[in-house]
Chain A
């Protein structure tokens, strides 16, 4: 398993000077994609995008969010010329996209769509190798690169020989991401890539994307209609309003604390105070908790956390006094786990636990203690006092 530094070097070998060139961090902010007064009116008169001005910075995840039909997809597809604007200019790396021939442009921009859109007649490996082969790499090099990407998106090597129909939705989506990354494009466009998978898999994929972004340092434009997903992934979030207007373009915390208008305020939701907790990281006291292993005979007096051999939580034992043998069927399950990420995670763990104690786990998933909702509220008050929460 190559470490982070090694992997970047591996990528370096494959970086190709396409028409868009290679993104080079120049220290300051660099605009990789720029919309200048872009309007799209379809033949039937629908105005999908109205005078859009927006700049996407290098190396960030920028999220387009908004209700259905507000022009997110149209905006995204104008970047790789799947749709051409009616008026205005779109620059990618300083170059007007209308001056680049579409196939060449698209090979330099990764594109991931909702249903993955894998080629059903090609194996996973060949799907991933598509763009390198189109760009004229030799077959062996393209295959090697594809195998590497399979690992990067967290799929076992033997998936390479399968066909898309033999994968789950989440796995297909990973392959879709791998295919988009194959020629190492500096820019990645993702159109609701995770909306067709179940919530658990979606969260996996979101975390995976954040990890990938930290490793690969791509410029990503991500479309979603899920405000939680937008706030989680976006360094900058563009909220679109029906009719193709950009309502607000800001950092997530700013959207929550200072929505530009009523539309944004209602779109980020009534519980936006709670959502703000996602962006707060403060020390919450961790209390010890009574634990027991399955099959043990224990005397319990209060809620007891049952753990497995690796000290990972299995469930709660209700606080009935007396001596019992810990068995699977007495367990009360439930409760999210708090991994030290944000105050929202801590509060959620406490509130969702049957014992009102939020289980705290370390990176390996082992129990380190519990948190209480009161403590979270206190931590929040302290953070507020320190001026961490914008009013």
Chain B
């Protein structure tokens, strides 16, 4: 623990990088997964393509995806994009399912009623389907966020930033305290992000808690 207090500035610096490297992919992945998940909830054919594809993406080790990315998109080996792109891919793979399941679970009679009231499709999606799908979607988002925060560290194995740097440096210099500092930082960040999403979910979906 002493390492954190003795190296306060460095700790904040890696925390900021870690946060950036995990939050950007969550947001990007979430945004991408909404149209894809909507498509999958609509069309069985889309599901047949998207779901197995998402499953295969998961089987690729994160370290491999991180080292392959620069070759595929032509970035430099130490570019942060090399972590952001793979984590975005994982987030999309995870969230497509959540979004599709959540949208499919919206009661048919509610949708029918909204159509009968004359909602146009986009407006209906934004004001009816999507809000009703939020609880399940946010549950998926919590899993994706926690696993992203834990996965960012892998980037350090190829020299990228975040708490993972404390792991690799601690390993090379035999400094257990430094590794522990990174581990604690990761877990605290994950717990905080998870709690925050839980809170946002509750605020956005007050109706989901009525009668419990």
In the complex, A touching B (Cβ < 8 A): no
List the interface of chain A (C-beta within 8 A of B): none
